[in-house]
Amino acid sequence: MSNSADPAESLLVRAATGRPGPRPPVWFMRQAGRSLPEYRALRVGTSMLESCRTPDLITEITLQPVRRHKVDAAIFFSDIVVPLAAIGVGIDIVPGVGPVVEKPIRETADLDQLRALDADDVPYVTEAIGNLVGELGGTPLIGFAGAPFTLASYLVEGGPSKDHARTKSLMHGRPELWHGLCARLAVIAREFLRVQVDAGASAIQLFDSWAGALSLADYEEFVLPHSQAVLEPLAGLVPRIHFGVGTGELLAAMRCAGADVVGVDWRVPLDEAARRLGPGVIVQGNLDPALLQAEWPVIDRAVRRVVEQGRAADGHIFNLGHGVPPSTDPDVLTRIVELVHSTPS
């Protein structure tokens, strides 16, 4: 699906390793999913978690946006809770809600649910990535995992939460339990990423989607060491992207977690993000997903602005500031890819 046969020489990997090509690479968080009619058609009658355990479905859903939009990377179709379900945690993805946990973590004994994960727990991941690497040719595949804080939030709250109140209360009120929980989640996330790299992923992204709910002090004390435990042992294998929403105050700390590329949401312009992050940084982002609903001239201007601001960093991977909203017209995404492809880095 790409001209160059070697994903290590793709625009994405080049940008992520400080060797930018002639134009910025572009992909979209949540590019595989509900904005695509072909995705909705394939998913009829199959639950989300079952889809994530079926290699043929994973392969096809991962390829759909690459074929349709000609994006510069595929993101592995899975979910951040897949490794938890794989080790036997009672968790489901409820349509219209998100991840829901049977027995939320409240006590030290609840940590027994969280044993370490290895490749044998997720054979469907290895199989699907093997298929994908063959199909994708020179187009890189991005593997991913949820970071300890974001996973912990679901496990402590029992499901999606706006204020993360139980999570923050546990973090401050039971710090030993908190650190025990995150240490186990770090092992699970790290090994889930390692399985994907071993199977052939060309880059990885650690999603700490909800880290922006924290102050810098809380992030540094309660979260950073655990995200480091995920990313640092994976140094030197493939580029590591680290992303969260609302993390303007946390960007420099997130880089310290061991990120080669820092994902930025739409709230901080990329030139300002590059300033906050310091020399030698590579950024990913950050078109406001809300603008996907706007008239094309508005989108055109905003895309060009993001590319322009991205030039302030040592490398830029074009993306949205968060995932593709399900109501997005997929043709708009295709058009954005064409526009980014016509713009020099």
Is 219 among the residues known to form the active site?
no
Contact 164, 158 (CB under 8 A): no
Burial class, 119, CB count within 10 angstroms (exposed 0-12 / middle 13-18 / buried 19+): middle
Instruction: State in angstroms the smallest separation of the CB of 338 from ligand 1CP.
Output: 19
Distance between CA atoms of residues 26 and 2, nearest Å:
13
Annotated catalytic residue: which of 39, 53, 72, 79?
Answer: 79
Instruction: State in angstroms the smallest separation of the CB of 279 from ligand 1CP.
Output: 28
Instruction: State in angstroms the smallest separation of the CB of 173 from ligand 1CP.
Output: 23
CB-closest chain residue to ligand 1CP: 98
Instruction: State in angstroms the smallest separation of the CB of 94 from ligand 1CP.
Output: 9
Instruction: State in angstroms the smallest separation of the CB of 37 from ligand 1CP.
Output: 13
Assign 23 to helix, strand or coil.
Answer: coil
Contact 26, 317 (CB under 8 A): yes
Of residues 59-88, those binding ligand 1CP (CB under 6 A): 75, 77, 79-80
Is 43 among the residues known to form the active site?
yes
Distance between CA atoms of residues 199 and 59, nearest Å:
13
Give the residue with the Cβ less far from ligand 1CP, 20 or 168: 168
The size of the interface with ligand 1CP (CB under 6 A), counted in residues, is: 21
Distance between CA atoms of residues 38 and 330, nearest Å:
11
Contact 17, 316 (CB under 8 A): no
Of residues 227-286, those binding ligand 1CP (CB under 6 A): none
Of residues 209-238, those binding ligand 1CP (CB under 6 A): 209
Is 106 among the residues known to form the active site?
no
Is 154 among the residues known to form the active site?
yes
Two structure tokens written together for 254: 């997130």
Give the DSSP letter string of 254-303. HHHTT-SEEE--TTS-HHHHHHHH-TT-EEEEEE-GGGGGS-HHHHHHHH
Q: Does 29 bind ligand 1CP (CB under 6 A)?
A: yes
Instruction: State in angstroms the smallest separation of the CB of 225 from ligand 1CP.
Output: 21
Which residues contact residue 246 at a Cβ distance below 8 angstroms, ignoring those fewer than 6 apart?
211, 212, 213, 265, 267
Annotated catalytic residue: which of 72, 154, 260, 265?
Answer: 154
Annotated catalytic residue: which of 30, 267, 311, 335?
Answer: 30
Cα-trace Rg, the chain: 19
Give the residue with the Cβ less far from ligand 1CP, 20 or 145: 145
Distance between CA atoms of residues 217 and 257, nearest Å:
14
Of residues 98-117, those binding ligand 1CP (CB under 6 A): 98-99
Give the residue with the Cβ less far from ligand 1CP, 16 or 20: 16
Alpha helices, DSSP H, located in the chain: 11-16, 37-43, 48-51, 55-69, 82-86, 123-136, 148-157, 165-173, 175-199, 216-218, 224-231, 251-256, 270-277, 296-310, 330-341
Distance between CA atoms of residues 208 and 223, nearest Å:
10
Distance between CA atoms of residues 201 and 160, nearest Å:
28
What mask, x for binding ligand 1CP by CB under 6 A, covers residues 177 to 196? --------------------
Region of 31-39, 118-126, 130-138, 253-261 interacting with ligand 1CP (CB under 6 A): 31-39
Give the residue with the Cβ less far from ligand 1CP, 45 or 279: 45
- Site for ligand 1CP (CB under 6 A): which residue of 10, 31, 284, 286? 31
Is 288 among the residues known to form the active site?
no
Region of 12-20, 23-31, 212-220, 231-239 interacting with ligand 1CP (CB under 6 A): 23-31
Which residues contact residue 154 at a Cβ distance below 8 angstroms, ignoring those fewer than 6 apart?
81, 91, 98, 99, 101, 160
Show which residues are catalytic. Answer: 30, 34, 43, 79, 154
Q: Please give the residue ranges that form the binding site for ligand 1CP (CB under 6 A).
A: 29-34, 48, 75, 77, 79-80, 93, 95, 98-99, 144, 150, 160, 207, 209, 323
